[in-house]
Amino acid sequence: MIANKTKSFFQPFSAVTSGIGDVRKALDEAKDRKKFHQQKTVLFVDEIHHFNKTQQDAFLPAVEDGTIILIGATTENPSFQVNAPLLSRARVFHLRELSEGNIIKILKNTIKDRNIGYGKFKVKIEDAAIKHFAKLCEGDARDAYNALELAISTAKKDKAGAINITLTDAEDAIQGKFIRYDKSSDGHFDAISALHKSVRASDIDASLHYLARMLEAGEEPLYILRRLMRAASEDIGLADPQALILAAATREAISFMGMPEANDAIAELTIYLAKAPKSRAVDSAYAAALDDVKNNRMGPVPLDIRNAPTKMMKDFGFGKGYQPYDKKDHRPDNLHKRKYWQDN
């Protein structure tokens, strides 16, 4: 559509099956097209994240001088998968998943369409069956089309030759819902962040939702547990020291039982952490101490609390005057006025 509107030549290719040679050839052809025919080229690169830095850099000069209008499609986060120079010259459009209403509409349209749909096959489908497809396809029209196609090809015809698709046929066609979750992509990090923030907010139901979402998609349970252990110390801390102990015990339960038997153990920990009283005092105290270590002068350790294993060190005053239960400030002199720990 863009190529037609701008009277440009449309050149598509896939980054999955193409290499740097294909890129250079397409760019050379685009230069000739602009020079001899005064026509721009819309270069569409599907799955552009499969191109490495060198391949992506090859587009820059042609984008700069207007030889091509580059359109790249990717299922990954462009912030991480597309070079910054190329990204700075582009506008990013985030294509969201379709609503259930959208899916229902396109399924009804394709059933009626006699040219590219199933209008010639006299398909009769229950509303409940269409809604079932729309609910379980997770906003992906391709999944919905595939399920409908399978249902049409397997459903029985009546005496009049019509194909009748019931809710049962729809359930058989789509089987279980496919959980979209990429353990190396945004879905992975978004879900674990949502789990942590739900626990922090004491939202038990949301915590269990994101836990189930990750476990059922095949996420490594120890990865989830590491974040839950972090929540136990960062967001709960000494408000309930039992939280970290239970998290450590859950690790043993996972190792001993394995998955999926350990699902309930992780769920138990998740519920406990969500219900537990919250305190960031430990995290804040360490952050304050860390800030001094990074940004203030590192004064010498006071002599009286230094170890003195040799005579020479004792002669230098190491350990002199040390009192085991002395209430004085044991930090370097320049930090005596700093306060890290704040009781709730």
Do 73 and 142 belong to one domain?
Answer: no
Q: Is 75 a domain residue?
A: yes
Strands 68-73, 123-125: parallel, antiparallel or unpaired by DSSP? unpaired
Domain presence at residue 286: no
- Report which secondary-structure segment, H or E, holds 314: helix 311-315
In a domain, 288, yes or no: no
Contacts with 112 (C-beta within 8 Å, 6 or more apart), sequence order? 119
- For residue 38, pLDDT over 60 is answered with yes
Entry pTM: 0.58
Q: Is 176 helix (H, G, I), strand (E, B) or coil?
A: coil
Query: Does residue 180 belong to any structural domain of this protein?
Result: no
CB burial string 67-102: b at 16+ within 10 A, e below: bbbbbbebebebeebbbeebeeeeeeeeeeebebee
**What confidence tier does 183 reach under pLDDT thresholds 50, 70, 90?**
low
Q: Are residues 226 and 262 in the same domain?
A: yes
Q: Which of 26-30, 204-208, 245-249, 310-314 has the lowest mean pLDDT?
A: 310-314
- Based on the domain organization, do 84 and 106 belong to the same domain? no
Window from 104-113, 165-174, 179-188, 218-227 with minimum mean pLDDT: 179-188
Going by pLDDT thresholds of 50, 70 and 90, the confidence category of residue 275 is very high
Q: Which of 223, 241, 275 is the last residue of a domain?
A: 275
Residues 197 and 266 in one domain: yes
The answer to whether the peptide bond before residue 277 is cis (omega within 30 degrees of 0) is: no
pLDDT surpasses 90 at 210? yes
Contact 198, 163 (CB under 8 A): no
Q: Are residues 69 and 20 in the same domain?
A: yes
Average pLDDT for 85-95: 88
| pLDDT (average), residues 100-107 | 94
Is the domain of 55 the same as that of 105? no
Total domains in the fold of the chain: 4
The domain spanning residue 17 has which CATH number?
3.40.50.300
- Average pLDDT of span 72-97: 86
**Percent of the chain beyond pLDDT 70?**
96
Q: Give mean pLDDT, residues 97-125.
A: 90
Owning domain of residue 83: 2-88
Do 194 and 244 share a domain, yes or no? Answer: yes
Contact (Cβ atoms closer than 8 angstroms) between residue 35 and residue 2: no
The answer to the question of residue 211 being in a domain is yes
List the CATH number of the domain containing 150. 1.10.8.60
Residues 120 and 196 grouped into a single domain: no
8 A C-beta contact, residue 125 and residue 95: no
Q: Which amino acid is at 75?
A: T
Longest CA pairwise span in the chain (Å): 108
**What is the C-alpha to C-alpha distance for residues 219 and 179, in angstroms, rounded to an integer?**
11
Ranked by mean pLDDT, which of 81-85, 91-95, 105-109, 142-146 comes out on top?
105-109
The yes-or-no verdict on residue 133 having pLDDT over 60 is yes
Q: Does 93 map to a domain?
A: no
Q: Using the predicted structure, report yes or no on whether residue 250 has a pLDDT greater than 70.
A: yes
Q: Of 126, 154, 174, which residue is a domain's last?
A: 174
pLDDT score of 181 more than 60? no
Note the pLDDT of residue 176.
59
Residues 120 and 168 in one domain: yes
In a domain, 285, yes or no: no
Average pLDDT over residues 111-139: 89
Does 299 lie in the same domain as 269? no
Q: Is residue 214 scored above 60 in pLDDT?
A: yes
Write the pLDDT tens digit of every residue in 233-248. Answer: 999 999 999 999 999 9
- Regarding whether 244 and 196 lie in a shared domain, the answer is yes
The CATH number assigned to the domain holding 255 equals 1.20.272.10
Same domain? For 190 and 166 the reply is no
Distance (Å, whole) CA 8 – CA 71? 13
pLDDT per residue over 5-37, tens digit each? 989 999 998 888 888 888 888 899 999 998 888
Q: Is residue 266 part of a domain?
A: yes
Among residues 151, 174, 197, which one ends one of the domains?
174
Q: What mean pLDDT value characterizes the chain?
A: 87
